[in-house]
Structure 1
Amino acid sequence: MTPATSLFTPVEADLRLLADNLIQLVGTDHPILYAAAKHLFGAGGKRIRPAIVLLVSRATMSEDITTRHRRLAEITEMIHTASLVHDDVVDESNERRGVPTIHSLFGNRVAVLAGDFFFAQSSWHLANLDNLEVVKLLSQVLMDFAVGEIQQGLNRFDASITIDTYLQKNYYKTATLFANSAKAAAVLSEVSAETAERLYCYGRDIGLAFQIVDDILDFTSSSEALGKPAGSDLKSGTLTAPVLYALEEKPALFMLIEREFAQSGDLEQALALISDSQGIARARELAAHHAKLAVEHLVDLPYSESRQALINMTDFALSRLY
């Protein structure tokens, strides 16, 4: 198992700068928003997305990375954080990774406005990169997030959705930021269009792998490790890969899902059926498939410590299952 911290060795100093800059980007003009930013950005987290931006930047530059590469990494983390603030409001989550959510501390109104503010701040800093292609790439992410959230809402408790529909939703909600920010970093490095596209594909597939693993952990990890109740996605009607695969084996699951676990013991029965199926094992195979594809997109990139770290990132994504 590769710990996340060792993966980041080539960009460790870059990430320290990023952590210092994030809160400053928000500014002190709005005390509540500043307090929210300090709480969010001070909570740490793995910083996977900005790390990938910085690793792609270093893997595609023969010289040192630029201030625009660094700012792109900061924008990426700000967009990700803004999306989490809104997700927690929609999901009515009081904790994330054991830390109180913004809406549980400040209320829904402030949480929604804080998320909006972070999105607006990221857009402003994005425009100041003065690169239209990069602006388009990250603006697409903002649109995709909204589409993904709507799609997830419309598909609640819909046991007829396909794995393809599930993966499309995962792209909109998660992988789009990995994909488009990786490509944006490559664009800032002025690589060929083909190389930029391959890095987009790397981001897409590693983003899908990360999300599938998260969806598996919702069934296999403890509530303490998750920072939220285990099985909470299923309870809310979000049907993920383990459920969709289990449905192919366990017809009894359909009835439980269709009545939205309305009767006492329904959720526990559903969890037992999923555990007794090949759903989780097949979901692991799906995650491994996308991790393998991600590595294949890097084969033409010249060897460097950063390229190797991007490859190792795929192992880390899967290692969280064991």
Structure 2
Amino acid sequence: MWGAVARRGGGWRGLAAGRPPPAAWSQVVSEAEKIVGYPTSFMSLRCLLSDELSNIAMQVRKLVGTRHPLLDTARGFVYDSRNNLQMRGLVVLLISKAAGPSTADLSFQHNMVSGIYSSQRSLAEITELIHTAFLVHRGIVNIGELKSCDGPLKDMQFGNKMAVLSGDFLLANACTSLAQLQNTKVVELISSAIGDLVQGIYYENSRLSEENCLTDDIGISTWKEQVFLSHSALLAKSCQAAMELAKHSAEMQDMAFQYGKHMSMSHKLHSDLQPFVKESSNDTVVFSLNSAPAVLHQEFLGREAWIKQIKEEKGELKYLGKKCLRDAIGAGRAVPAALELCRHHGARALAALERFPPSEARAALANIVGAASGRS
């Protein structure tokens, strides 16, 4: 399927032929965790082992046998082989260590462990709690769209209540810890990141309602703005907040922000590319109409031609998961353009790192860019 495209793309396919193997990603994470002092997979252990969450975990067991998304989220906390759940906190710790103490704060170096302030470690935990809370909240399903195979209605309603309450509990813990940092600028930064997440998820949900009809008429610039809100803002602002806690300059804070922003954008683009660069003989390939390749394909093709292309095939959008539409998108300019955009954001993340002094932590951050975005 990809032979002709690979020839036209000048060999791009080899670079993005799939996610890095789980072993390669795990190695990058393992090496980075040694640098920051402890495994970030246990970062929120105090909260996750609390009586309240233990109670929630027992209640979630009632959903076994249903298709409620909260079950998949819960499994991900335990079985996520790529450790994506801990990536944000790990990045915050690494960039804290890479920057080191500022000249304005040398008197407080005794508060550092493995080159990281205790307040920065708390910030990393807060970042993870916020991310996890929103993952849990995303497990709320539209009761009106359920099918009999999803599970009994009362169980799905119960799952929605659990998703709301447990997500709120995690978010409340994060906000309490945030206030204890006693830094108004950091509180402002992380609060605005929470607002960005809410706005980004609102955009996502409003577009999901369109997927049974046609994708929104948005260009790649609008797509980038919306993806920043839902996927990049939390990490970017947490990295900036870590610099603020160490009293680093405005320039250093901006470089940390740029790294977090562009690394996560590159990671999202790489994720969106996977259905289009993986060889598959299956008829059904799941991908979003609002993924970067689909948005770029629509932009290159034109709105009217895009609608016509869909209607000419089968006339039903359940067809959009089929292999033939994936082939149509893959045969055009969209996939090479999305890959180039992925490379661009990865390169900008690496460029931001150049302002940090050479160190193991900086090298680990560069390795994370490579592993998260599929760069070789």
Moved more, 263-272 or 81-90: 263-272
Instruction: Quickly say closer, same or farther: Cα 1:285–1:104, change in 2 above 3 A.
Output: farther
| Aligned with residue 57 of structure 1, among 96, 102, 120 | 96
**Which of residues 97, 118, 124 is equivalent to 1:67?**
118
Counterpart pick for 2:244 among 179, 184, 187: 187
The 3-state SS of whatever aligns with 1:297 is helix
Q: CA deviation at 1:142?
A: 1.0
Which is further off, 283-292 or 147-156?
A: 147-156
Q: Counterparts of 1:188 and 1:215 in 2: how far apart (Å)?
A: 34
Decide which of 323, 338, 349 is 1:283's aligned counterpart.
338
2:46: which partner in 1?
Answer: 24
Matched, 1:5 2:26: yes
Q: TM-score, normalised by structure 2?
A: 0.71
Does 2:140 align with 1:117?
A: no
TM (norm. structure 1) is 0.82
Given that 1:7 and 1:309 are in contact with CA atoms closer than 8 Å, whether structure 2 keeps it comes out as yes
Determine helix, strand or coil for the equivalent of 2:140.
Answer: helix
Instruction: Pick closer, same or farther for the CA change 1:245–1:296 going to 2, 3 Å.
Output: same
Percent of aligned pairs sharing the same letter: 27
Q: Which amino acid aligns with 2:199?
A: V
2:56 corresponds in structure 1 to 33
Structure 1: any 5+ residue segments left out of the alignment?
93-102, 224-228
Asked whether 1:305 is paired with 2:360, we answer: yes
Q: 2:260 aligns with which of 196, 200, 203?
A: 203
Quick one: distance in 1 between partners of 2:374 and 2:41? 25
CA distance in 2, matches of 1:144, 1:40: 24
Q: CA deviation at 1:39?
A: 5.5
Superposition pairs of residues 1-322 of structure 1, within 5 angstroms: 3-8=24-29, 9-12=31-34, 14=36, 16=38, 18-26=40-48, 27-29=50-52, 31-33=54-56, 35=58, 41-44=77-80, 45-46=83-84, 47-62=86-101, 64-90=115-141, 107-155=159-207, 156=210, 157-221=214-278, 230-234=285-289, 239-247=290-298, 248-249=300-301, 252-255=305-308, 262=316, 265=319, 267-268=321-322, 269-319=324-374
Deviation at 1:211, TM superposition (A): 1.0
Give how far 1:221 is off: 4.6
Structure of higher RCO (CA pairs closer than 8 Å, 6+ residues apart): 2
Listed one character per residue, the Cα deviations across residues 167-216 of structure 1 (whole Å, up to 9, x for unaligned) are 01110000101201111111122211110111101111111111111111
- Evaluate the alpha carbon distance shift between residue 246 and residue 110 of structure 1 in structure 2; reply closer, same or farther with a 3 A threshold: same
Q: Deviations 1:17-58 (Å, cap 9, x if unpaired)?
A: 543341322421354335569866434523211111010111
Q: In structure 2, do the counterparts of structure 1 residues 39 and 105 end up closer, same or farther at CA, with 3 Å as the change threshold? A: farther
Q: Distance in 2 between matches of 1:264 and 1:20?
A: 41
Root-mean-square deviation (CA, aligned residues, Å) is 3.2
Contact 1:222/1:230, CA 8 A, preserved across alignment: no
Q: Which residue of 2 aligns with 1:226?
A: none
Structure 2 contact 36–116 (Cα < 8 Å) conserved: no
8 Å CA contact 2:47–2:53 kept in 1: the answer is no
Task: Name stretches of at least 5 consecutive residues in structure 2 with no aligned partner.
Answer: 1-19, 61-72, 102-111, 144-154
Q: What is the DSSP-based 3-state SS (H/G/I as helix, E as strand, rest coil) of the residue aligned with 1:301? A: coil
Cα separation, 2, equivalents of 1:258 and 1:154: 22
Deviation at 1:154, TM superposition (A): 3.2
1:55-102 superposed Cα distances (whole Å, 9 cap, x missing partner): 01111225521221111111111111111122232589xxxxxxxxxx
Indicate conservation of the 8 Å contact 1:82/1:118, yes or no.
Answer: yes
Structure 2 counterpart of 1:42, which letter? V
Shift of 1:159: 4.3
SS in 1 for 2:240: helix
What residue number does 1:96 align with?
none
Report how many aligned residue pairs link the two structures.
Answer: 303
Give, in whole Å, the separation in 1 of the partners of 2:78 and 2:37. Answer: 13
